[in-house]
Amino acid sequence: MIVAFLGLGAIGTPMARHLAKPSLASKLRVWNRTAAKAAAFAAEHGVTHAPTPAAAARGADVVITCFPVSRDVEALLDGADGLLESMARGSVLVDCTSGDPATSRRIAARLAERGIGFIDAPVSGGVAGAEAGTLTVMVGGDAAVLERARPALESFGKKIVHCGPVGAGDAVKAVNNALLAVHILATAEGLAALKKAGVDPALGLDVINASSGRSNASMNLFPERVLSRAFPRTFRLALLDKDAGIAAQVTREQAVPSPLLDLTSELLKEAHRALGEEADHVEAVRWVEARAGAEIRS
Ligand code: NDP
């Protein structure tokens, strides 16, 4: 199987590393907008560095994209050097971007006119999950198309779930990440208040984590990244802001009143504006702390 991987970012790079393993019966080509990253990856792993997306895609059975937003994928479709011209009939575009369902449906329809399959296949599990090859992959699209791409997905994914038609994977991912955002913001607000009330945040977290208010944020993110003040940069706040916006759009499209998710999206936009493009998602806590006038540390 020939696989092309486009987009060697924070999560794309460890995903592509699994596809580069010699044990896998696949040949890998990589392309990245900043060519130096793809050149370094190719040299390190002994795979092909493609100079353009089309050069990577031509003759490939599976083309995987992992960009910030669906529009970045859509922008690569057209032109003599676009994916529509270069991908072969019968091949599959697997979009691992945490995308938006409407754009994914548009992309799928255009590819289908050329006999090219499409699945939206966003992932969860973070950079650590990508490195370990234990990502969850949420797939939208035809089951038969998923089967054609499955060997590539299995190299980095442990749980591969067919969620429904094109866009369903994007929708599930967006709702998951909106819940992550709710938990980060709400936990920060609560712990800042406890700190001001004279309770040690570490003690407060310890109690919450043995009680019913716990979440992945309280159990893992706050102890490892907030109390320690480490705030490692693994997943940009800008991307979580985008995901919360997609979730709010999904609830609007389905006419579901969603004041909590709408407010979460608004707050993340504010935090993103205040902290900039490179801030990590957990740094939204710093924004809550600044407004509260309290730091969540012992
Ligand atoms: P990064 O910002 O680290 O990397 C983005 C990648 O996309 C880079 O390779 C970048 O190229 C490329 N890129 C950006 N804009 C364009 C464009 N217009 N055209 C072509 N290439 C472009 O993002 P992540 O790797 O963190 O995230 C990628 C996707 O995965 C996002 O949708 C995100 O929401 C999702 N995701 C991320 C997780 C994480 O933990 N990081 C976890 C789960 C999902 P260049 O090197 O030139 O900048």
Give how far Cα 287 sits from Cα of 209, 225, 226, 268, Å: 23, 15, 12, 10
Q: Is 239 in the pocket of ligand 1 (CB under 6 A)?
A: yes
pLDDT tens per residue, range 58-117: 999 999 999 999 999 999 999 888 999 999 999 999 999 999 999 999 999 999 999 999
Give yes or no for residue 8 CB within 6 A of ligand 1: yes
| Residue 68: other Cβ atoms inside 10 A | 16
Q: Percent of the chain, pLDDT > 90?
A: 97
Architecture, CATH, for domain 2-164? 3-Layer(aba) Sandwich (3.40)
Measured CA to CA, the distance from residue 120 to residue 138 in angstroms comes to: 8
Give tens-digit pLDDT for 9-36: 999 999 999 999 977 767 999 999 999 9
Q: Is it the case that residue 158 has pLDDT exceeding 80? A: yes
Closest residue by Cα to atom 22, ligand 1, is: 67
β strands within the chain, DSSP E: 2-6, 27-31, 48-49, 62-65, 92-95, 117-120, 123-124, 135-140, 157-164
**Pick from 146, 174, 173: which is nearest to 160 by CA?**
146
Residues of the chain with CATH 1.10.1040.10: 171-292
In the chain, which segments carry CATH 3.40.50.720?
A: 2-164
How many angstroms is it from 194 CA to the middle of ligand 1? 36
How confident is residue 254, by pLDDT bands cut at 50, 70 and 90?
A: very high
Write the pLDDT tens digit of every residue in 196-238: 999 999 999 999 999 999 999 999 999 999 999 999 999 999 9
Of ligand 1's listed atoms, the one at least distance from the Cα of 11 is 25
Tell me, using a 6 A CB cutoff, whether residue 10 lines ligand 1. Answer: yes
Q: What is the pLDDT of residue 81?
A: 87
Residue 290 has pLDDT above 80, yes or no: yes
* Ligand 1 neighbour 64 (Cβ under 6 A): no
Q: Decide: 11 in ligand 1 pocket, CB within 6 A.
A: yes
**Tell me, what's the pLDDT at 163?**
98
36 exposed, middle or buried (CB, 10 Å; 0-12, 13-18, 19+)?
Answer: exposed
Residue found by looking up tokens 């709702």 in the block? 175
**pLDDT of residue 275 exceeding 80:** yes
Atom of ligand 1 nearest to the CA of 124: 43
Report phi then psi at 280, rounded to 5.
-80, 155
**What is the rounded CA–CA span in Å between residue 39 and residue 49?**
6
In 3D, which of 67, 76, 63 has the Cα closest to residue 9? Answer: 67
With H, G, I as helix, E, B as strand and everything else as coil, classify residue 91: coil
Token output for 244: 């919360």
Mutate to test the pocket of ligand 1, among 11, 64, 74, 246 (most ligand atoms within 8 A of CB): 11
Structure confidence at residue 28 (pLDDT): 96
Q: Which residues contact 121 (CB under 8 A, 6 or more apart)?
A: 94, 95, 96, 137, 138, 139, 140, 149, 153, 169
Catalytic residue from among 173, 195, 242, 269: 173
The pair of three-digit structure tokens given for residue 42, joined into one six-digit string: 């190719």
Which whole number is the average pLDDT over 152-163? Answer: 97
Q: HEC string of 46-62?
A: CCEECCCHHHHHCCCCE
Nearest CA to ligand 1 atom 20: 33
Distance (angstroms) between ligand 1 centre and the Cα of 98 equals 9
- Cα–Cα distance measured from residue 135 to residue 19, given in angstroms and rounded to the nearest whole number: 14
Mutational pocket test of ligand 1: of 33, 234, 282, the residue with most ligand atoms within 8 Å of the beta carbon = 33
User: What pLDDT does 25 receive?
Assistant: 64
CB 68 near ligand 1, within 6 Å: yes
- Reply yes or no on whether 21 is catalytic: no
Q: Would residue 198 be called left, alpha or beta, if left means φ above 0 and alpha means ψ between -120 and 50 degrees?
A: left
Class of domain 171-292: mainly alpha
Q: What is the pTM of this model?
A: 0.96
